[in-house]
Amino acid sequence: MSNVGIVIVSHSPKIAEGAADMVRQMVGDAVPLAWTGGDVDGGLGTNVAGILEAIEAAWSPSGVAILVDLGGAETNSEMAVEMLPEDRRARVLVCNAPVVEGAVIAATESSGGSSLAAVKRSAEEFYA
Amino acid sequence: MSLDRVAREKLVRALAGSVISHADELTSLDQAIGDGDHGLNMKRGFEAVLAALPGLADKSLPEMLKAIGMTLVMKVGGASGPLVGTFFMELGKALPEEPSRADLVAATEKAIEGVKARGRSEAGQKTLLDVLVPVHAVLAGGGDAKAIVAEAVQAADRTTPMLAIRGRASFLGERSIGHMDPGSRSASLLIGAAVETLEFEVNT
């Protein structure tokens, strides 16, 4: 059984990469992980193509949890999920949690072999 | 309403031109209450739409609208990409190749429902829905081209005193009051461009 993948989406590629570094420090290679940030020209923003690539890179049969920062990251992530092949769509969830803390908590939960729903719940409960 | 290839290309150029020529204005509106990228983002998206010409206009009207929507989703980069892109994609899905006015009313209603679902928003929250919903009402009520364009302009103006409840501007709370919503302004520009082009085509 493979662990749930984690995708980090920030308007800032630096934040996305930095959050991914923090996740790696916590869970090593036990969890499939990818990050994406910036618009298609490299400015601050998010883009659907980048999010789709990150989901592919962090893909796990157990599913993928996406952590996002602000509004556009969430809207673009939801759009990306809808554009996935139908059999994958239900196995990708966008978490309503702070991006850095949520990513670390979600990855830690995933590294213990938890389900996608449990990973999402852990990330969301931390600040609830 | 039947749009031939030339008319479809004219429509695409008018839509893109309306946003691109107002990019600076959209950006300055967004600097007041958002993250200041709306003009740049929309310009990038519509430049990508223009780059898809002339092939884009070879498609049927519904297919062309879907392709515009997909390009905006992939290129715009902010929340407006999925929002405006969803509008075009849903419009393309719902419109027949030669739509009647009733078809247009029904299809724009579906497209607006798509935008509401995408943004989990309703009219009254200082978003593009505050233009789309009242303009749709004028369209559905039989308003002519002039009335539709006038409503689009006035509806964007009416977002100025509104309190933002969705989007980045909502972080500002009451400080969002007194500034026009940039997304409403771009929606109003797109509607103006579409109506002017379509009216010209229908009347000639």
Q: Rounded mean pLDDT of A109-127?
A: 94
Q: What are B189's two structure tokens?
A: 């520009």
Write down the pLDDT at residue A1.
58
Question: From the first residue on, what is the mean pLDDT of each consecutive set of 10 residues in chain B (204 residues)?
Answer: 92 98 97 93 97 96 98 93 97 96 96 97 97 98 95 98 92 93 98 91 61
> Cβ contacts of residue A31 below 8 Å, gap of 6+?
A3, A4, A5, A6, A23, A107, A110, A111
Q: State the count of interchain CB pairs (< 8 A) between A and B.
A: 61
CATH number of the domain within which A32 lies: 3.40.50.510
> Cβ contacts of residue B64 below 8 Å, gap of 6+?
B8, B12, B56, B57, B92
Q: What are B121's two structure tokens?
A: 């928003």
Write down the pLDDT at residue B199.
82
Please calculate the CA angle A37-B45-B68 and round it to the nearest 5 degrees.
120
A82: contact with B, CB 8 A cutoff: no
CA distance B147 to B162: 23
Q: What are B178's two structure tokens?
A: 């007194």
A111: contact with B, CB 8 A cutoff: no
In a domain, A103, yes or no: yes
B41: contact with A, CB 8 A cutoff: yes
> Cβ contacts of residue B99 below 8 Å, gap of 6+?
B1, B61, B107
Peptide bond into B54 cis (omega under 30): yes
CA distance B124 to B113: 15
CA distance B108 to B129: 12
In a domain, A110, yes or no: yes
Tokens 């931390």 belong to which residue? A126
Write down the pLDDT at residue A63.
98
In a domain, A81, yes or no: yes
Write down the pLDDT at residue B202.
65
Model-level pTM? 0.93
**Packing angle, helices A48-57 and A71-82, rounded to 10:** 60
In a domain, A91, yes or no: yes
In a domain, A96, yes or no: yes
- Are the Cβ atoms of B75 and A47 closer than 8 angstroms? yes
- Are the Cβ atoms of B79 and A76 closer than 8 angstroms? yes
Of A41, A74, A76, nearest to B81 by CB-CB distance is: A76
> Do A124 and A101 touch, CB atoms closer than 8 A?
no
A112: contact with B, CB 8 A cutoff: no
Write down the pLDDT at residue A113.
96
In a domain, A66, yes or no: yes
A10: contact with B, CB 8 A cutoff: no
Q: What are A60's two structure tokens?
A: 């796990």
Write down the pLDDT at residue A37.
96
Q: Which domain holds residue A51?
A: 5-122
Cβ contacts of B82-85, under 8 Å, gap ≥ 24: B82/A48, B82/A75, B82/A76, B82/A78, B82/A79, B82/B118, B83/A75, B83/B115, B83/B118, B83/B119, B83/B128, B83/B183, B84/B42, B84/B45, B84/B128, B84/B186, B84/B187, B84/B190, B85/A79, B85/B45
Beta bridge partners of A67: A8, A95
CA dihedral A98→A53→B78→B68, nearest 10 degrees, is: -150
Per-residue confidence at A107, pLDDT binned at 50, 70, 90?
A: very high
Question: Which value does ipTM take for this structure?
Answer: 0.87
In a domain, A128, yes or no: no
For the stretch A31-73, pLDDT in tens is 999 999 999 888 999 999 999 999 999 999 999 999 999 989 9
- Are the Cβ atoms of A45 and B79 closer than 8 angstroms? no
- Identify the DSSP state of A30: S
Of B35, B75, B83, nearest to A75 by CB-CB distance is: B83
Domain total in chain A: 1
Q: How far is A76 from chain B (nearest CA, A)?
A: 6
Closest CA to A38 of A65, A8, A82: A8
In a domain, A127, yes or no: no
Which three-class secondary structure state does DSSP give residue A35? strand
